[in-house]
Structure 1
Amino acid sequence: MQHFVDAMPLPAVVIGTDERVSAVNRQAAQLFGSGILGRHYITSFRQPTLLDAIDQIMTDGAARRARYLSTEARRDKTWLVHLARIETDGSVLMTFEDLTATEEAGAMRRDFVANVSHELRTPLTALIGFIETLRGAAKNDPAAQARFLEIMECEAARMNRLVEDLMSLNRVEATERMRPSEIVDLAGVVRSVANALEPLAKERGMTVVRDTFDEAVKIPGDADQLAQVFTNLIENALKYSGQGQTVSLRLERVDNHPMTRGPAAVVSVSDTGAGFDPALIPRLTERFYRVDSHRSRELGGTGLGLAIVKHIVNRHRGRLRIESTPGQGAVFTVILPAEIAQ
């Protein structure tokens, strides 16, 4: 029996007719501990749904399934337990199938739908309310009509930005496993983005300082997606830093960067704004996560920008590093593998 259990690819446990664990393989010993062997199954598993399934199969012999929950390295894990009776001696074989990834993917889908619904509900509710007002109380009030129509335009634009970002995120995720093969000039891409955002900087009375963007830096990449990365990062720095602040752009080429284990192009976008608590950094690239939700919505943010940045950087086999100190601004650094200069 032990040889049979050892040959199984999944964690496997055998409970004998004396209701004690008679065999476990290496995977099951890692899950439950080696001391499980010889113990009564009630003291070994301690979860009612699984214990009930074991009781029932010992009574009627019919194969069953049950769930078992565990924790590994502070991560909740879900197992589907397959129970079957071994007819030769009446013992029960349990195999544990890891469903954690499937459960997490389902939770992510549910959260995503809930977040999208929440983001769309607010502008839709506002639009419906204003339409009712325009048909009723403000029907003959040109001043109110102009004011409401302006707000409606803003809310419609916000929904449009959200839909565009969702479509962009979908496209990026669809190509994330396809490494770009074209060679692009990263310095030229960042210069073009900075030039395009110059009017926004002037509007906010801000200064954009560019350092070392004169020489071409060739890397394998998708020019459009890289432009999207730096548009998001520079636009965020301009929007959230406040009037009169400075945004600095720097590009350097590193012959052997530890994060890419080879030559890399490193672009940093730093600002002199309010910054944020470093404890928030791990969550910044989550979909719809915002440090300041109210301010982000006021400035037209959808909460998807940094999630898009993360997926594009992943597609380019790069790294995104974020640093910030409250009151001292933030630095977003993109590290991308670079071609060796010829």
Structure 2
Amino acid sequence: MHEARLYQKLEDNTVRCSLCAHRCTIKDGKHGICGVRINRGGTLYAATFGKVIAEAVDPIEKKPLYHFLPGSLSYSLGSVGCNFHCVHCQNWQISQQTLEMGGFRDISPEMGVERAIASGSASIAWTYNEPTIWHEYPLEMGAFARQKGLGTVYVTNGYITEEGLRDLAGMLTAFRVDIKSFSDAFYRKVCGGRLQPVLDATLLAKELGMHIETVTLVIPGQNDSMEEMEGLIRWVLENLGPDTPMHFTRFHPEYRMLDLWPTPVRTLEKIYERAKELGINYPYLGNVGGHPYESTYCPSCGNLIIERAGYAIRIRGLEGHSCTRCGGRIEYVSEIR
């Protein structure tokens, strides 16, 4: 197996992983909370290096990323395991599985880049499960990808340490982060984590020059109060800036949270409208196919810039980075440098 990065050797063949904010202390023969970083004889191994359980070529809008190479394809890879155990997980069939499930496909970092290029993709996304715990694999593949001019994307819960994120600096171009709630109690109860490390990592990703978009799955009765949503919006405004795309996504019952109902669309609309009022230039709704609030509008004049229906897009009012009506600048990543 592939030796892990970012860990310390302790006494009695014990190790401490410093990749994610759990900072697991792992005894010989055991694994961390993620289930895939394993201590064997005092050496920590990344057990899923090169082991892929899900491979697809997706529209970049599926991540969702709306201001990163819009209209392009993204070669997307996932494996098993997660450092969260969200009771409402949308990808629980793989994220909550173990190494024993089988069905893996071996794809080397070099092969992954070749397959991405052959697919016509403009980027590689590590997604479907938590990419943080796959660290060594995307780090190595991403280095090859950047040499070939591809973008690199983490679809992440953001529960990564400063050491882990700095290790990705210079390789990772987009950090699409779930901010699942603006409540630490929610994180502890529902996800098995904490809020502050996610905020810290997101801020650091911004400082390191990564493109940031946030996603919040709005769950009825759990994290949908306007007070909480305003707290999150204000934090993004103050720390990431008004041009940060914020996605507010409709919840559907899944995994172990089957007793709730789907989010009322009007709840999402109110959050979107409040985000606009507070100063977010690019709020969006998700899981509401065909809704006008999926589209991009010029923050200066309201002109329709990019029309979306699900993952299909049509560029309507954009020339370069300028609105065709008023000339106002539209912030998005149009190319990888």
TM range (shorter): under 0.3
Higher helix share: 1
| TM-score normalised by length of structure 2 | 0.22
| TM-score normalised by length of structure 1 | 0.21
Point out the structure with max Rg over C-alpha.
Answer: 1
